[in-house]
Amino acid sequence: TSGNVKNIQIPRQVLLATSEAANKYLGARPGDIWSLLLPTNHIAGINVLTRAYLLGTEVVSVKDSANYSAIVPTQLFNALNGDNELLTHLKNCQKVLVGGAKLSEALLKQGQKAGIKIVTSYGATETCGGCVFDGAPLEGVEIQINSGLVEVRIAGLNSGNWISLKDIGEIKDGKLIVHGRADDVFISGGENLSLNLIEDFLQKTFPSQKIYPISIPDSKWGEALAIISDQEFPSTLDQDISEQLGKLYIPKYRKIVAQIPLIGIGKLDRKSLSELFLINE
């Protein structure tokens, strides 16, 4: 989300194998229906098409009934905050995969409380999309922690070598727990600040508002904490942050925009966001 664009090659046999494993994990049977709510220029959308193909069915839209679907956290947020058509569709599914970007615990619980049967999905384009469901690797997938970082290995992919996803994690009781990006800590005025920590706090404290943190270059602080939202910031924001995280986490810059810059299927476009601040501050 902040680096250079790179091409990833996914062998057909790997795509078919991981899609079959996903269907098996979810309990999908021939004739079951997937809804396609993700773009097909991303691996997540291609996976939905492949899963449907293996079940011998065609995908449907949000306007139709489906047994299974796959969305990103942004879509889940929208469903819980006004998109009633999407909410109804998701509630009628047997299982809904949510992945592609970080899913906060607060948003997960909101979705579950609303009646959506969520299965968390973790992976990357390099791993043929989501390959760890609810913390458990799919059939044919191996996970390990190497120097604190999550690594994945899938037969037929990356010459059979381990793929580092640059996420900090641990395996507890056989389940993968991802704590955040390895590069989410930055130094501001000599102090270490964690974007993961402040993002978790913002999502938990203000679950009905999109507020995202980012670090930007700053002549005084070296790197400074900035936040962005598509709504007015809560009046208690600074006080809440100070009381829970300390004054160091009060953002130096903030910006309200008409639309949050995202990449493809709901990941925050941190590079574009940084440019917004650099151009206008």
What residues are paired with 263 via a beta bridge? Answer: 267
Distance CA 32, CA 184 (A): 40
How many angstroms separate the CA atoms of 170 and 4, rounded? Answer: 28
131 and 123 Cβ atoms separated by less than 8 Å: yes
Q: Report pLDDT for 3.
A: 52
Tell me how far apart the alpha carbons of residues 166 and 258 are, in angstroms, rounded to a whole number.
31
192 pLDDT exceeds 80? Answer: yes
Does 212 have pLDDT greater than 80? yes
Strand (E) positions, the chain?
Answer: 34-35, 68-71, 95-98, 118-124, 129-133, 136-137, 141-146, 149-154, 163-172, 175-181, 185-188, 191-194, 211-218, 222-229, 253-256, 262-263, 267-268
Q: Quote the pLDDT of residue 6.
A: 67
pLDDT > 90 fraction of the chain, expressed in percent and rounded? 68
- In angstroms, how far apart are the furthest CA atoms of the chain? 61
Question: In percent, how much of the chain has pLDDT > 70?
Answer: 95
pLDDT tens, 260-274? 887 766 677 877 888
Q: What Å distances lie between residue 77 and 25, 104, 128, 268, CA to CA? A: 25, 11, 25, 14
More confident residue, 126 or 267: 126
**DSSP secondary structure letters along 72-100:** -HHHHHHHHTT-HHHHHHHHTSSEEEE-S
Rounded Cα–Cα distance for residues 96 and 108 (Å): 12
Distance CA(102)–CA(104), nearest Å, equals: 6
Calpha distance 204→189 (Å, rounded): 27
According to the model, what pLDDT value does residue 279 have? 55
pTM above 0.85, yes or no: no
Judge whether 128 and 43 are in contact, CB under 8 Å.
yes
d(CA 176, CA 167): 11
Average pLDDT rounded to a whole number, residues 169-193: 88
- Band (pLDDT 50/70/90 cuts) for residue 102 is confident
- pLDDT on residue 32: 98
| pLDDT tens profile 43-96 | 999 999 999 999 999 999 999 999 999 999 989 999 999 999 999 999 999 999
If we measure between CA atoms, which residue out of 254, 262, 205 comes closest to residue 73?
262
Q: What CA–CA distance (Å, rounded) separates 227 from 229?
A: 7
- The DSSP bridge partners found for residue 180 are 168
